[in-house]
Chain A
Amino acid sequence: MTTRIFGSGIRRREDPRLMTGQAAFTDDIKLLGLLHAAILRSPHAHAKINSIDTSAARAAPGVLAVYTGADTDGVLNPIPCAWLPPDSDIKAVPHPALAVDTVRYVGDGVAVVVAESRYQAEDALELITVDYGVLPSVINPKAAMDPGAPQLHEDAPNNQAFHWVVAGGDADAAFETAAGDPQNHVVVSENIIQQRLIPHAVETRSAIANWQSAMGELTLWSTSQNPHIVRFLCSLVTGVGEHKIRVIATDVGGGFGSKIPMYGDEMVTAFCSMQLRRPVKWTETRSEAYLATTHGRDHVQHVEMAATKDGKITALRVVVHAGMGAYLSTAGPGVPTILHGLMYSGPYDIPNIKGDVYGTFTNTTPVDACRGAGRPEATFLLERMIELLASELDIDPVEMRRRNLIQPFEDGHDVATGVTYDSGNYQGTLDLAMQQLDYPALRQEQAELRSHGQYIGVGVTTYCEICGLGPSQVAGAVGFGGGLWESAIVRFYATGKVNVFIGTSPHGQGEETTFAQIVSDELGVPVEDIEVIHGDTDLTPMGWGTYGSRTTVVGGGAVALSARKIKDKGKALAAHLLEAAEEDIEYEDGKFFVRGSPDQNKTIQDIALMANVAWNMPEGMEPGLEATTFYDPPNFSYPFGAHVAVVSVDPDNGHIVLQRYIAADDCGPQINPVIVEGQVHGGVVHGAGQALWEGVVYDDNGQLLTGSLLDYAVPRAHMVPDMEILSTVTPSPHNPLGVKGIGETGTIASTVTIYNAVLDALKPLGVTKLEMPLTSERVWRAIQQAKGA
């Protein structure tokens, strides 16, 4: 047998078109008679709209129409939130597509101009005058619940969007025990700020709506991670039947979570097309994207951890205030709850856990998933607290982790938060990473450098995360407003070529390659003969989209199962054609043959031809060679790993250099190790961004100060070292391929790994705490203050 295609690092098949400018992004699409929309956005974080005068804009050259919230109100239904965690008293406040009488964040849509050209639309926007009555605003997610804080929504007293609780064991009792027995216990506590991030997809959002009034059909090109969900929600918002809506996500230039939500802007674009009966395009400018596309993180956390003196963790207690922004975004409430609180045990045995998560409304851009989505925030607090415990107990931080890691398991491990991990060998990845690092040598080097006034630090993280979302029954139980299964059609043509139609919607993760590898591996068809089709709801079967590192785990499962159905049918047809009993037919490498006489065979291509022409089918067998699978996974997947960062800090100016980064991850069997490595690279850099450079700054009036790439530092290639990428393989027992997601692990682990490394470097200088991002000035000031103290 030649090298197996499953596990082979072939080049990404989508790259040539992406790298040569031949990809078709939404904004590239031009339709006859296309009109252009531009949206006027609120310059105030909180204000009453007293009046809007659009008369001058209406009269401007090229303008066809100007609409305000008064026009869309009642025609478009509110933008729904689709993740309402149960038992959380959630306030699904109305979210109009265009503000009706109140604006609640800088960037809230106020009016739309439709013109023959985008320039004309932009010129006309300047002619709209809005009389605002400015109201006080609140920005901080914790301060939002303070008495007397400005109130955003009538239906949400104290700006509380929800209060969600996770509890297992008896954390309060465990803390009482610890407090009552200080001889044998220790308790550490910390306030942690998970700063707000901007996901920064390279392609900004864009939509083209084409309403064909004669047919009553709406085609919507939309930069989405989940076009089928867009179709579903678009139907709810516009009232057009789901069967009359076609959503097309063509090439999508990244999302990082920001292209999960349903936004008002796309629905306003649809509204314009339906009103004017012409196709309308709206493409977000980069400046607009900073204000109008969802942000991520934004937690204020208070965390306590208790342990015995020998370093065994007994309890974790967390109170989180999670900023939701001005409205609940589509998946927003699920992020700091289900995707966060359920992972409070991480890879550790923690018998007693309690988490209180308060979602709060603030006068800011709505918050939703941002790569990692809830899990980086959980990993950070765990790893930070373990570091503090280690320091308090004077136990080596790596040893501290070893004392608490869950022992290896192959099929199921329950943790206190109520979830069941699939499989894990946390010691395995930790051993691998530490071997790569040569930990004792590094500690020795560190001590030597310190004696010369030079400071390096090392951070070691062990993590596990929840992804591969997920069983639909659980989706229902946790308030997710949809299913989480996937479907795939594998279709053979008479020529032996194959189309794979998938419900997921990759936008940079490489599944056009890896899914072809799955089919090729299962059926022996060359990868070149397989084309993966996604993104168009009229072509592809239902799917819930690409997020939560679920595409390969769930969607790939559906592809593999469809391929296996093809194999079964092929076997039956081959038996018929070879005049043998089906149980005597064997399959290998794309050939069906009679056991013992491999010369008597039919290739998969022979079978495809015969099935498609159907000249000689066994009785009762349908023509065609095609299979559809609806795959609902029995559990989530829980990838894990150990990450190590080595940093240097210059005490003169506070400058941090990331010197080494080791990622030892386990995502089960790897379909394409080069793509896995690419996902780890991107993920780690994204997380490094949060630790070192990225962070949203609003002023007290809710004006975004980091509103451009001049001010908001997205990491560049030269800022990160060559990474040392390692892996182990622990298959998940829960899906046909045994795979676990890898798209977010890097981000989940790297932020706190780097943070802990910096704090380790600064330890001899007396610095114990820093706010992220770790800018040079923050580090320098902390050193100065520690010196002064």
Chain B
Amino acid sequence: MYAPEFEYHRAATVAEAIQLLSSNEDAKLIAGGHSLLPLLKLRLARPSVLVDIGRISELKGITISDGTVRIGALTTHWEIASSHDLEHACGIMAEAAGGIGDTQVRNRGTIGGNVVHADPASDWPTVLTALGAKFNIQGAGGSTRTVEPGDFFVGPLTTTMGEQEVLTSIEAPTLGHHQRAEYAKMAHPASGFAVVGAAVVVTVEGDVCTAARIAVGGLVPVPVRMTSVETALVGKALNQENIAEAASHASNDLQGEILGDFFASAEYRKAMAEVEIRHALFHATEVSHH
């Protein structure tokens, strides 16, 4: 639990951070440190240079305007969980943030650090996929680009981020009057990480579902959209029978690799995807579980 030697630089601006990344071959960014420090202490990661972006104020904070929530990459899970404005604008984000790790983790860990680490068991990738979020990325020479989750997450601990790029913020649409969103997860009892997580965003007019975005994570290398479930749901009344019927299509959308370990096998996780989708939809529509 003792990190190998590294050089440490603190960047004052994003541009400086990118410059430091460019001039040091195996440099790594460090923000809250919650993903990187354990890897360093286990000596599984050995960057020669750490570029600390933790104090760049332009990367912090939550702003809500024109139907968009913008969250700086350095915003901590705690700040997200405790934001009243966010709770009203996009409650699923506050709720998901509040279920991450424990108090200490939420106090230090950042949404940007979480997303770029791309741990299949973490909650943000699934929630942000269902929300149709956008990732704002800055690169060398002040260039910027915006990527959707589907084009961002490639595999476990792998994204399309370039080595000299910094994730600056995440944007998500605010939820409309007719929209409901929920995140349900089966948490690992040791880590709190998602064994299976399901995020649903549904539009309900009258009692009919007119649109749905559903994603699952935890059991897959990158979040997977549940398009069969979405299709089965749209146009239907959101009652217990229709929700159960729609959720039963989950396996159609889980044809790729399913993760498994000694705690929860792939077969079990696959079966649980349906259950967690159901739980999320029940909660979203306040249909009683039983």
Chain A residues engaging chain B, CB cutoff 8 angstroms? 38, 118-119, 122-123, 126, 285-288, 452-454, 652-653, 655, 692-693, 697, 705, 709-714, 716, 719, 775-777, 780-781
B186 touches A655 (CB 8 A): yes
Which residue of the partner chain A has the closest CB to B263? A775
Which chain A residues border B190 with CB–CB below 8 Å? 693, 709-714
From B90-98, B203-211, B264-272, the one touching the partner chain is: B264-272
B1 touches A286 (CB 8 A): yes
* Shortest distance from the beta carbon of A457 to any chain B beta carbon, whole Å: 17
Measured in the bound complex, the distance between the Cα atoms of B43 and A38 in whole Å is 15
Which residue of the partner chain A has the closest CB to B276? A653
Extra contacts besides A118-B2, A713-B190, A776-B264 (11): CB < 8 Å: A119-B2, A123-B5, A287-B42, A454-B290, A653-B186, A697-B262, A709-B191, A710-B190, A711-B190, A775-B263, A777-B265
Which chain B residues border A453 with CB–CB below 8 Å? 290
CB of B256 within 8 Å of the partner chain: no
Which residue of the partner chain A has the closest CB to B265? A777
Which chain B residues border A712 with CB–CB below 8 Å? 190
Chain B residues engaging chain A, CB cutoff 8 angstroms? 1-2, 4-5, 42-43, 102, 186, 188-191, 193, 262-265, 268, 271-272, 275, 278, 290
Which residue of the partner chain B has the closest CB to A773? B189
* Shortest distance from the beta carbon of A203 to any chain B beta carbon, whole Å: 14
* Shortest distance from the beta carbon of A516 to any chain B beta carbon, whole Å: 34
Which residue of the partner chain B has the closest CB to A284? B1
Listed by A's residue number, 23 A-B pairs whose Cβ atoms lie within 8 Å are A118-B2, A123-B4, A123-B5, A126-B43, A285-B2, A287-B1, A287-B42, A452-B290, A454-B290, A693-B189, A693-B190, A709-B190, A709-B191, A710-B188, A710-B190, A710-B191, A711-B191, A716-B102, A775-B189, A777-B264, A777-B265, A780-B268, A781-B268
Nearest 5 pairs of A and B residues by beta carbon: A713-B190, A285-B1, A713-B189, A122-B2, A710-B191
* Shortest distance from the beta carbon of B101 to any chain A beta carbon, whole Å: 11
Which chain B residues border A775 with CB–CB below 8 Å? 189, 263-264
Which chain A residues border B275 with CB–CB below 8 Å? 652-653
A713 touches B262 (CB 8 A): no
A777 touches B2 (CB 8 A): no
Which chain B residues border A288 with CB–CB below 8 Å? 1
Which chain A residues border B5 with CB–CB below 8 Å? 119, 123
Measured in the bound complex, the distance between the Cα atoms of B272 and A781 in whole Å is 12
B263 touches A777 (CB 8 A): yes
Measured in the bound complex, the distance between the Cα atoms of B290 and A126 in whole Å is 57
Measured in the bound complex, the distance between the Cα atoms of B104 and A591 in whole Å is 52
Which chain B residues border A697 with CB–CB below 8 Å? 262
Which chain B residues border A776 with CB–CB below 8 Å? 186, 264, 268
Which chain A residues border B193 with CB–CB below 8 Å? 710
Which residue of the partner chain A has the closest CB to B195? A776
Which chain B residues border A713 with CB–CB below 8 Å? 188-190
Measured in the bound complex, the distance between the Cα atoms of B2 and A454 in whole Å is 49
Which residue of the partner chain A has the closest CB to B43? A126
Which residue of the partner chain B has the closest CB to A126? B43
Which residue of the partner chain B has the closest CB to A780? B268
Which chain A residues border B263 with CB–CB below 8 Å? 711, 775, 777
Most-contacted residue by chain A among B4, B43, B190 (CB, 10 A): B190
A653 touches B272 (CB 8 A): yes
Which chain A residues border B271 with CB–CB below 8 Å? 780
Which chain A residues border B4 with CB–CB below 8 Å? 123
